[in-house]
Structure 1
Amino acid sequence: MLKLRFAFLATALACASAVQGQAPATAPAPALPDADPAIWVVKDPDTTIYLFGTFHALDGKSAWFNDEVKAAFDRSKELVLEIPPVDDPASIQPIIMKYALDTSGKPLSDRLSPATKEKFVAALAKLGAPPNAFDKFTPFFAALTLTMANAQKLGMTAANGSEAVLTKAAKDDKKPISGLETIEYQMSIFANLSDAEQIAMLEQTLDELDEVAGLFKKMNDHWSKGDSEGMAALINEMNAKSPKLYKVLLTDRNANWAEWIDKRLDQPGVVFVGVGAGHLGGETSVQALLAKRGIKSERLTQ
């Protein structure tokens, strides 16, 4: 179930990266180890669409915005991300609160079993938070917040993520930036889970918090090497355990994005599209769904 929760986390981090807006300016640093994340191209006679697999939260300890990725970005005239950047975080706070705050009137900690509540309080204590800190949250938002907080302890932040770097570069180059989805749509995916499913998600989160570091390392290793199938294998385990959630979080969204690419090919131009790398591997990847439409995608190499 940890891989399932990572799929939720990836979507939440896409929201976070949109709010971050751009990577912070930093002083010149020594050369970083090279990373080679995967990128594909889809084209017809007058349209080129680069399809790049992003990693929403990174530690800034590798150089990936170079080689074929940078060359493709430089050739592109516009940037399209899962969610467009939000310049004013305050503007989306009402949306976040709409889905994050529970309206049942019953504190979250009181809705948990005694064993789960004990783990919940202990997890909050490790973050320096009081036992009732999340009592007004929906279960899914509490689960995501716990996971994100532990990811940040590892130095993995949206501010260092692919979207933040791409957004800054696009703004510097005055390239238009748009999104395939909205923050409200992504938050609604979580909110539409039943209460039982959300609490189960929180229970799994509490049981597996100690595994977050290992999972992030595996995901980051696959991403850095451009191993799209290895990345997909980690996430696709959820298909057997929860086909419904796999369909909502991955297959349905991939189908929407494949349709968007199909339609965008009708317009001339060069576009750089960045979506979570987990969407670009496996039998229901964006490329596989494009192939079913008769549209070929080609992996770029150095």
Structure 2
Amino acid sequence: MRHPIIVVFLALFLMACQAVGAERGALFRVTGHGHTLHLYGTIHAGRAGFYPLEPRIAQALAAAPALALEIDPSAYTPAMTATLSRYAVFAPGSPGIAALAPERRSRIEAALMQHGIAREDIAGLKPWMLVTMLAQREAAALGYVAEYGVDVHLARLAHEGREGRGRPLRVVELETWEYQLALFDRLTDEQQWRLLEETLAEMASGRQRQETRALFDAYERADQEALEAIARRIDSDDSIGGAYLRQVVLHERNGPMADKIASLLAREDKAVVAVGLLHLIGKHSLPELLRKRGIKVERIY
């Protein structure tokens, strides 16, 4: 009888561990200037099962004087809507997709409508925004939605006073909404159309969903080996989308973010920095850039 009792006990123990939050993403301890901060890798969509947060990050937040995010997703204003329109929507009088050759236009329109994107969106939105919408649909098809994004959850905790148990936590933005949108609009119109065509082809082959699932699986398990495999694939991807992700979305942003994290560490103790997980993996990651600045970085998981 003892063996079944032990099995039941272990099962209950594992269930209890899951109930208080599992390790997800990546967590680093960063030390310098006599101060320490936690650097946490997030993902911008999620599911209810991601919460509550793993105890170590929850405890770090409880002790933190500030939470640094790429941007505060809860601070959306009407002015930000206007900024989004400026970068994501073709200017009045622009031909948009009508500028493409008829066969190419028809092929793109048909593929987008198969994925539930309305004709009026196809006519008005720039290709990079359509790519973003497709990515959101792929994540949602796997059960991950923006409402449960980790950065959204962290911002909510900060503004509500750490789950209602204290004063609101100060939120520091490492970037601005306009800066991020301008990066997405960096590609020429032709490059954006080619990126959209690449994305549609990847979706048709099933590769897009496979890569999306791999990223969320690696995040959910805090799987260092799987995350480094993703980093290697990003480094070797010479498609338009791959090169743009590597050179602009990651490498170009990592340097300024590393500088701001180092500055935060110099003036504050016990802050928490939470940024997209892809910024924390690979040869040009934030942990590596911070180490090159003489700052000690230890991986917790």
TM-score w.r.t. the length of structure 2 is 0.81
Q: 1:168 to 1:109 in 2, by over 3 A?
A: same
Q: CA deviation at 1:119?
A: 4.3
Divergent runs of 4+, >4 A: 30-33, 242-245
Using the alignment, how far apart are the partners of 1:262 and 1:33 within structure 2? 29
1:147 paired residue number: 135
Query: Contact 1:35/1:224 (CA < 8 Å) preserved in 2?
Result: yes
Please, which of 175, 181, 184 is the counterpart of residue 175 of structure 2? 181
Does the aligned pair in 1 maintain the 2:37–2:270 contact within 8 Å?
Answer: yes
Is 1:41–1:297's contact at 8 Å kept on the other side of the alignment?
yes
User: Contact 2:231/2:282 (CA < 8 Å) preserved in 1?
Assistant: no
Per the alignment, residue 283 of structure 1 pairs with 283
Deviation at 1:232, TM superposition (A): 4.4
Structure 2 CA distance for aligned equivalents of residues 89 and 156 of structure 1: 25
Are residue 70 (structure 1) and residue 66 (structure 2) matched?
no
Instruction: Tell me if structure 2 keeps the 8 A contact 1:48–1:269.
Output: yes
Q: Which digits, 9 at most, give the CA deviation of each residue in 1:17-50, with x for residues without a partner? A: xxxxxxxxxxxxx948834331001123642211
User: Which one of the candidate residues 154, 161, 173 is aligned to 2:149?
Assistant: 161
Any unmatched runs of 5+ in structure 2?
1-17, 162-167
Per-residue displacement from partner, 1:190-214 (whole Å, max 9, x unpaired)? 1111222111111011112253432
Taking only aligned residues, the RMSD between alpha carbons, in angstroms, comes to 2.5
Relative distance call for 1:247 and 1:235 in structure 2 (3 A) is same
Name whichever structure is richer in helix by fraction: 2
1:94 counterpart (79, 82, 101): 82
Q: Between 279-288 and 43-52, report the one with greater CA deviation.
A: 43-52
Deviations 1:248-285 (A, max 9, x none): 21112111111112222321322110000111011101
Residue 43 of structure 1 corresponds to 31
SS at match of 1:265: helix
Partner of 1:191: 185
Unpaired stretches in structure 1, ≥5 consecutive residues: 1-29
Query: Given that residues 287 and 297 in structure 2 are in contact (C-alpha distance below 8 angstroms), is that contact kept between their aligned partners in structure 1?
Result: yes
Residue number among 217, 220, 224 corresponding to 2:216 in the alignment = 220
How high is the TM-score relative to the length of structure 1? 0.80
SS at match of 2:201: helix
Structure 1 counterpart of 2:202: 208
